[in-house]
Amino acid sequence: MSLELKVNTNLKVSLDLTREKVIANMLEARGMGKFKVDDKDFNAICGIIQGSFDQASQSVFKNADGLIKEIKKEYALEGIKHLIECHCVLPQYRTRNPPLYHKFVVFSIIDDDKVVSKISQCNNCGIIHKVIDLCKSEIAHGMEEGNSIRSIEDIKISLPDRLVEFLTKQSVDLATWENVEFVLDNKKETELILNKDQKDDVTQLKILHIREDGTFKIKSEIRQDEMVIS
């Protein structure tokens, strides 16, 4: 059940119980002779109470919707792509001294300013890493195969067909697939840079713009790089 449905359901139950309690108390007070009114007028008063609750409930639900949005914004999960350093070296760098270790991109979720730990696999040597913080990991000894790690094919199942087709054509990495899935699951409006071409001081970007409702569009943007001379 979504947060909106939970809050609105509880509010409706509370308002209904309060209205019923008010009418019950009036009926009891009338029976005890605390005030005198005939049935017609009493029913009219109850009708006014009912109408007042109906009017108030509209404002209550409207204010609740605004509060829910603020709560979601305040406590929303965040996601980020970052680099993890492995112990392997790409062939073209094997003669380097000191060695230039391979780094691969991972996507991590941040909850309450803490990185949610996850298992990731180096895309060069296949070693399994336990990601413990931004740009920090430990070798996951005893896990050699990585069969439990989600693959691109696993993620494709949960994404719209047109988006899957587009991302497949772009040959994006696993971290990008995870990022897109996270954005859609959390209904975030986000722009993700998928590819970039650079020539001299000009960079052209291909950007995936995902809206809160899950629809998306592709943008192309040219940026002028700044040259700093010291």
Domain that holds residue 136: 76-149
pLDDT, tens only, 103-130: 999 999 998 788 999 999 999 999 999 9
CA distance 213 to 164: 17
> How confident is the model at residue 203, as a pLDDT?
87
Does 183 lie in the same domain as 219? yes
Does 188 lie in the same domain as 132? no
> How confident is the model at residue 142, as a pLDDT?
79
CA distance 192 to 208: 5
CA distance 149 to 128: 9
Give the SS3 label for residue 88. coil
> How confident is the model at residue 228, as a pLDDT?
44
Total number of domains constituting the chain:
3
The Cα-based distances of 106 to 77, 86, 88, 219 in angstroms read 17, 12, 16, 24
> How confident is the model at residue 61, as a pLDDT?
77
Which contiguous run of DSSP H or E holds residue 120? strand 118-121
Residue ending a domain, among 149, 176, 198, is 149
Give the pLDDT mean for 77-102. 91
Does 122 lie in the same domain as 59? no
Does 144 lie in the same domain as 154? no
Q: Give strand pairing partners of 82.
A: 106
CA distance 135 to 106: 9
Residue ending a domain, among 149, 178, 200, is 149
pLDDT at 76 over 80: no
Q: Residue 139: what residue type?
A: I
CA distance 46 to 110: 52
Q: How confident is the model at residue 229 (pLDDT cuts 50, 70, 90)?
A: very low
pLDDT at 7 over 80: no
pLDDT, tens only, 188-227: 888 999 888 888 788 888 999 999 888 999 998 888 765 4
pLDDT, tens only, 121-165: 999 999 999 999 999 999 988 777 778 889 999 999 999 999 999
Q: How confident is the model at residue 101 (pLDDT cuts 50, 70, 90)?
A: very high
